[in-house]
Amino acid sequence: SKRWCSEKMTRKKNDRPNEAPLKWEWQYVQGPYLIVVWIMVASLAKILFHLSYKVTKIVPESCLLIMLGLGLGGIVLAATNKPEYQLDPNLFFLFLLPPIVLDSGYFMPSRLFFDNFGAIMMFAVIGTVWNSFTTGFALWGIKMSGLMSDKVDAGLMDFLLFGSLISAVDPVAVLAVFEEVHVNETLFIIVFGESLLNDAVTVVLYKVFNSFVEMGTINVHPVDYFKGIASFFVVSVGGTIVGLFFAFALALISRFTKRVRIIEPLFVFLLVYLAYLTAEMLSLSSILAVTFCGLCCKKYVEANISQKSRTTVKYTMKTLASIAETIIFMFLGISAVDTSKWIWDTALVLFTLLFILVFRAIGVILQAWVLNQFRIYPLDKIDQVVMSYGGLRGAVAFALVILLNGAKVKAKDYFVATTITVVFFTVIFQGLTIKPLVKWLKVKRADQHKPTINEEIHERAFDHILAAVEDIAGQSGYHHWRDKWEHFDKRYLSQLLMRKSAYRIKDDIWDVYHKLNVRDAISYVDQGGHVLSSAKMSLASMPSRTSFSENSVTNLIRENGSGVCLDLQVIDTVRSIRDREDTVMHHVLTGNLYKPRKRFHSNYSRHFISANEQERQECEVFQRNMRRRLESFKSTKHNVYPTKSKARHKRDKSQKKKNNDANDTIPNGKPRRNISWQNPAPIAVEIESEDEENDNSETEKDEGITFVARAADEVFQERTPSSNLDVCQSPCVIPPSPTCAEKELPWKGRQGDLPACVSSETTKIVPLDMQQAWNQSISSLESLASPPITEIQLQPTLAELDEFPSPGPTPLHLARFQFPDSTLTTQHNSDDESPDSIQQQELQPLVSYERPSWLGQSASSAGTRWPVQFNRASRVSLLKNLVSGSTSNLGGQSSSSQTDL
């Protein structure tokens, strides 16, 4: 890699005087120095591009980089009068390509990939062979017909060779363009998967034809053709096996890195790179090796390494891939300036462009027709257009054409020129136009009729229903084999490759929940049927609100005496406002209705790693569902043993007293405040004694499940609302503002460690196939972390909410309540508690603003040892009153609820 930069700089060095006090050691550093400077230039250019949102929105980054490369190449050419830099094939294949392929393989949504494996394989193998041969033969036909210049000295084999290198869809280019065009997941995975897997075909065809050309057409015997076909299987299967072998080794190694956490991430890169080099060494398909290595090791590696290592791996991978991609495109641009290497032939260029477009389209249509006979989701016309048009060529083709032996392939210079043109045309022209094309096609297809609210809601419900039924009926792919595989994986592979702790928590979701539920129900019954036990705490670490239960006190309150209802009636008489509200509602719904299931999380963006909307939704929904199951499970249990619970109730009371006494001595210098909404009935709050907690943790150990009970307990100390409020589904819980003394309480000391702790723990109750999404969402939350850490855990959404686009005529803020000297919420209060926001709320009473009430609920179960409770204002129309009211109430009501207990 240093070769290409050394010559120029040695010249400069020689005319420096040696006796200077400041020693000039340029030669010593020049290699790395230039590399760093190049990366620096490329990265600065990226910053520049992204300064303007408008530019990057229209022009894909790859185009900009190529143009930058052209510019830089021009400058270098003008300055030195000779083209200096080239995209060196060795540099490309040894250093630039592996990070990109690793990134794609590792973050490949494996489920989606294997669901569409048939289609991907078809396009990768048959499609690529079809493209190579048709393009090669057609160009040869053009040559025979005399349309091409006579100077293009090439026979059939040369054209087939050229066809093989020009026909392969390029992963780098596809990724760069497709990540910015938001096509549907299936389409993306098919085109992208094809571009990765066709490597084997391309490599084989290229090598076979290359050897044919070098042997001379006359010397090729029929047996050589069979050798070619055989070598295809050797190259592809061999590459895959190398990849799988290293994936296995990597997973096994990562099982034993517990004591050397700091180098965990390194192993990932080392072994994958070894896989790449080994495949190259054996002249197998290195891209396949890395793809499968990344794809297969991920599950086990992610389970074994720590959360921090996971984040490190993720970021390092993205950084490397991003740099590599940037350099590739920039150098493509620079290389094109080097006119000495290429000779232009208009006919060849034009016909090549025509043929690759036409034959790709024909191939796609034919294959899609065949595939549609077997697919549940047929590839429709638009998909086919995008697939044909999205067949971008890139740096792989360029590197391969540079590698041709000019002595044997006489038309090499023509081929180079044509390849550069094709690459530039596909990346720049197709890259620029594919986005408008997709948009245009979609608009054309979309049937415009403004849905009523009923239609909007019910149709979304239908989507969810269909998704669920598909999951039940197992219609999303090759379930039979997948089930077999999962069984095998669970029985043997996971046990071998995962740490014991990591493996056991990955047990069947239901087993976990069943145990949870049983234990939960037992403690529920034990405690008189009112207390939510620590099991719920594991859920409480996630943001959620419990489901409605119709007979709950709060619901009654809601339906009877809500100020909002009054407002509603007022507004209903005014027709003009009504229309406006329809729009507001429409926006609220479109913005907030859960999207139907999607299996693919776009992890491919090289510009930023964002907290995924989908993941957040999954967390929310998952948690709600689990809660609901838990509730229903408990309620049945409760009905079974009504007497027992009653008997226990008394004992609990006495226990409670004890705990109260103990808690009173907590050295925060303040009496506990304990207020309950409506004060409905004496309900146990802080029953769970230390002993019980210990018991719980013991059973947890036995089951190999670790719950967040302790972590959550500590985290939620600061905002402990009461369990009884939770039982009544009350939205009225204001997190307390902690006093200084509270903050210094011993069990609050470790808050800084908590996010990692909680996140890794919660991982363990997430179903297996959602672990990835879960982990990512957690790590992305971590990256968003800002001072009040507890805030982030409870409200992972808040950071995003601030950027929430204001739908409709009225901005949809979440109004936050002001807590007197609240340290936790200052950050969020600061911008919202302006007079404006309150005014807006009053102007728009129908769509009211509220701090999500799950805040209280999610924390609810934690308040077992630290029973400080607050009222929470739920009615925003009463916002101002309640903000002051709830705080002033605190002192007053505390004594009454105390006596009740």
Partner 1 sequence: MGATGSAVSRVPGADEIQKETGFSSAHIYRLYDRFQVLDKDDNGVLSRRDLQSIGELAVNPLGDRIIDAFFPNGVETIDFRSFVRILAHFRPTEENRQREPNASEPLNSRNSKLKFAFQLYDQDKDGKISRAELLQVLRMMVGVEVTDEQLESIADRTIQEADLDGDGTISFEEFKKSLEKVNIEQKMSIRFLR
Window 282-301: residues binding partner 1 (CB under 8 A)? none
CB neighbour list of residue 135: distance below 8 Å, 6 or more residues apart: 162, 163, 166, 167, 352, 355, 356, 359
* Interacting span for partner 1 (CB under 8 A) from 65-73, 393-401, 474-482, 678-686: 474-482
Residue 710 CA to chain centroid, in angstroms? Answer: 29
By CB under 8 A, name the one of 10, 625, 806, 881 that touches partner 1: 625
* Interacting span for partner 1 (CB under 8 A) from 217-225, 349-357, 477-485, 893-901: 477-485
Q: Kindly tell me which of 439 and 458 has the beta carbon lying closer to partner 1.
A: 458
The yes or no reply on residue 382 touching partner 1 (CB under 8 A) is no
* Interacting span for partner 1 (CB under 8 A) from 121-129, 148-156, 242-250, 453-461: 453-461
By CB under 8 A, name the one of 163, 721, 731, 807 that touches partner 1: 731
Interatomic CA distance for residues 644 and 640, integer angstroms = 9
The yes or no reply on residue 153 touching partner 1 (CB under 8 A) is no
Provide the mask over 838-867, with x wherever binding to partner 1 is found by CB under 8 A and - wherever it is not. --------xxxxx-xxx-------------
Q: Kindly tell me which of 563 and 891 has the beta carbon lying closer to partner 1.
A: 563
Burial class for 422, CB neighbours closer than 10 Å (0-12, 13-18, 19+): buried
Residue type, position 315, single letter: Y
CB neighbour list of residue 490: distance below 8 Å, 6 or more residues apart: none
Q: Kindly tell me which of 522 and 588 has the beta carbon lying closer to partner 1.
A: 588
Q: Kindly tell me which of 95 and 804 has the beta carbon lying closer to partner 1.
A: 804
By CB under 8 A, name the one of 15, 19, 150, 550 that touches partner 1: 550
The yes or no reply on residue 577 touching partner 1 (CB under 8 A) is no
Residue 428 CA to chain centroid, in angstroms? Answer: 27
Interatomic CA distance for residues 465 and 782, integer angstroms = 33
* Interacting span for partner 1 (CB under 8 A) from 293-301, 395-403, 506-514, 669-677: 506-514
Interatomic CA distance for residues 706 and 512, integer angstroms = 10
Q: Kindly tell me which of 1 and 372 has the beta carbon lying closer to partner 1.
A: 372
By CB under 8 A, name the one of 20, 407, 473, 843 that touches partner 1: 473
By CB under 8 A, name the one of 490, 580, 624, 748 that touches partner 1: 624
One-character DSSP codes across 292-337: HHHHHHHHHHHHHS-HHHHHHHHHHHHHHHHHHHHHHHHHHHHHHH
The yes or no reply on residue 518 touching partner 1 (CB under 8 A) is no
Smallest distance, Å, CB 627 to partner 1?
10
The yes or no reply on residue 415 touching partner 1 (CB under 8 A) is no
By CB under 8 A, name the one of 185, 214, 582, 833 that touches partner 1: 582
Mark 522-554 as b/e (b = at least 16 C-beta within 10 Å): ebbbbbbbbbbbbbbbbbbbbbbbbeebeebbb
The yes or no reply on residue 252 touching partner 1 (CB under 8 A) is no
Contact of 8 with 84, CB cutoff 8 Å: yes
The yes or no reply on residue 454 touching partner 1 (CB under 8 A) is yes
By CB under 8 A, name the one of 499, 580, 628, 880 that touches partner 1: 628
Smallest distance, Å, CB 883 to partner 1?
16
Contact of 282 with 242, CB cutoff 8 Å: yes
* Interacting span for partner 1 (CB under 8 A) from 250-258, 322-330, 601-609, 619-627: 619-627
Query: Which residue has tokens 């794609």?
Result: 104
Smallest distance, Å, CB 563 to partner 1?
9
Token pair for residue 310? 């996971």
The yes or no reply on residue 681 touching partner 1 (CB under 8 A) is no
The yes or no reply on residue 489 touching partner 1 (CB under 8 A) is no
By CB under 8 A, name the one of 12, 458, 500, 646 that touches partner 1: 458
Interatomic CA distance for residues 559 and 565, integer angstroms = 8
The yes or no reply on residue 804 touching partner 1 (CB under 8 A) is yes
Report 783-802 residues binding partner 1 (CB under 8 A): 797, 801
Question: 298: closest CA among 284, 313, 315?
Answer: 313
Report 637-676 residues binding partner 1 (CB under 8 A): none
By CB under 8 A, name the one of 229, 370, 468, 647 that touches partner 1: 468
Report 811-830 residues binding partner 1 (CB under 8 A): 814
By CB under 8 A, name the one of 40, 75, 568, 740 that touches partner 1: 568
Smallest distance, Å, CB 477 to partner 1?
9
Q: Kindly tell me which of 152 and 883 has the beta carbon lying closer to partner 1.
A: 883
Give me the torsion for CA of 219, 225, 226, 232, rounded to 10°: 130
Smallest distance, Å, CB 838 to partner 1?
15
Q: Kindly tell me which of 13 and 484 has the beta carbon lying closer to partner 1.
A: 484
By CB under 8 A, name the one of 479, 490, 580, 649 that touches partner 1: 479
- What are the two backbone dihedrals, phi and then psi, of residue 877, each rounded to the nearest 5 degrees? -60, -20
Question: Could you count the other beta carbons within 10 Å of the beta carbon of residue 368?
Answer: 22
Residue type, position 277, single letter: L
Question: Could you count the other beta carbons within 10 Å of the beta carbon of residue 417?
Answer: 20
Q: Kindly tell me which of 514 and 701 has the beta carbon lying closer to partner 1.
A: 514
The yes or no reply on residue 504 touching partner 1 (CB under 8 A) is no
Smallest distance, Å, CB 877 to partner 1?
8
CB neighbour list of residue 479: distance below 8 Å, 6 or more residues apart: none
Interatomic CA distance for residues 175 and 182, integer angstroms = 12
The yes or no reply on residue 580 touching partner 1 (CB under 8 A) is no
Contact of 378 with 184, CB cutoff 8 Å: no
Question: Could you count the other beta carbons within 10 Å of the beta carbon of residue 601?
Answer: 19
Query: Which residue has tokens 């079809």?
Result: 130
The yes or no reply on residue 735 touching partner 1 (CB under 8 A) is no
CA angle 693, 695, 698 (to 5 degrees): 110
Q: How many residues bind partner 1 (CB under 8 A)?
A: 86
CA angle 214, 219, 224 (to 5 degrees): 85
Q: Three-state DSSP class for 896?
A: helix
Q: Kindly tell me which of 537 and 794 has the beta carbon lying closer to partner 1.
A: 794
Q: Kindly tell me which of 167 and 858 has the beta carbon lying closer to partner 1.
A: 858
Give the largest Cα separation in the chain, rounded: 104
The yes or no reply on residue 810 touching partner 1 (CB under 8 A) is no
The yes or no reply on residue 450 touching partner 1 (CB under 8 A) is no
Q: Kindly tell me which of 744 and 769 has the beta carbon lying closer to partner 1.
A: 769
Query: Which residue has tokens 């990265």?
Result: 43
Report 342-381 residues binding partner 1 (CB under 8 A): 376-377
Token pair for residue 312? 């490190």
Contact of 41 with 72, CB cutoff 8 Å: yes
By CB under 8 A, name the one of 371, 594, 682, 745 that touches partner 1: 594
Interatomic CA distance for residues 359 and 323, integer angstroms = 33
Report 753-782 residues binding partner 1 (CB under 8 A): 767-770
The yes or no reply on residue 871 touching partner 1 (CB under 8 A) is no
Provide the mask over 215-244, with x wherever binding to partner 1 is found by CB under 8 A and - wherever it is not. ------------------------------
Q: At what angle do helices 509-526 and 613-640 cross, to 10 degrees?
A: 50
* Interacting span for partner 1 (CB under 8 A) from 24-32, 300-308, 616-624, 743-751: 616-624
Interatomic CA distance for residues 683 and 723, integer angstroms = 8
Smallest distance, Å, CB 789 to partner 1?
20
Q: Kindly tell me which of 123 and 774 has the beta carbon lying closer to partner 1.
A: 774
Q: Three-state DSSP class for 548?
A: coil
